[in-house]
Amino acid sequence: MKKLGRIAGVAAATCTLAAALALPASAASATSAGQKTFIWRGYQSAGACTIEPGATWTLYSDGTARLDATVSSLDDDDAWLMWAHLKDSRGSLLADIQVNGGTGTKFVKNLPSHTQTHRWIARGHFDPDLFDLIKRMSLSKHC
C-alpha cells in the first residue's frame, strides 16, 4: 500500500509544476555582487519527500548556480528529483538550470533513511546571457 501511495504522489507531482514561485529575497541580494538569491519560504513536498523552508538557489552572473536545502523522506530508500526553472518578469520560461558536469537538468538527492534529514548542496549552470532577464524561479519535483 505504501508503494501505491508513492506512485499516486509521483503521478500528481509530475503532472503539475511547483506551486510556489520564488522571488528574489530582497532587492539588495537580487543585484549585489552579480548574484540573485531565491528562497522558498514554505515546505515543498512531493510524495513522501519534503524540502524544508529556507531552501535557497543562488544564481551568479557568470552562469553558475548553487542550491542549499535540507531534505527528508517519510520512507527509506527514496530520492528527491528536482528541476529548477528560470523565468522572466512575466513568468515565461527562459531555461532550466543544468547539473554541473553535464547537460541534464534533473537534480537528484538520495534519501536512504526516513530517520534522517539531509543537507543538500548542489551546483549547476545556465547561460550567463540570461542572468539579467531572470526575475523568478519555480521547481518541478517528485519523490
* pLDDT tens digits, one per residue of 78-108: 999 999 999 999 999 999 999 998 889 999 9
| CATH number for 75 | 2.60.40
- Give the model confidence (pLDDT) of 20-56 as tens digits: 445 544 333 455 559 999 999 999 999 999 999 999 9
Task: Give the residue numbers spanning the domain of 132.
Answer: 2-142
Domain tally, the chain:
1
The DSSP line for 63-105 is SEEEEEEEEEESSSSEEEEEEEEEE-TT--EEEEPEETTSS--
Q: Rounded to two decimals, what is the model's pTM?
A: 0.78
Determine the pLDDT at residue 22: 54
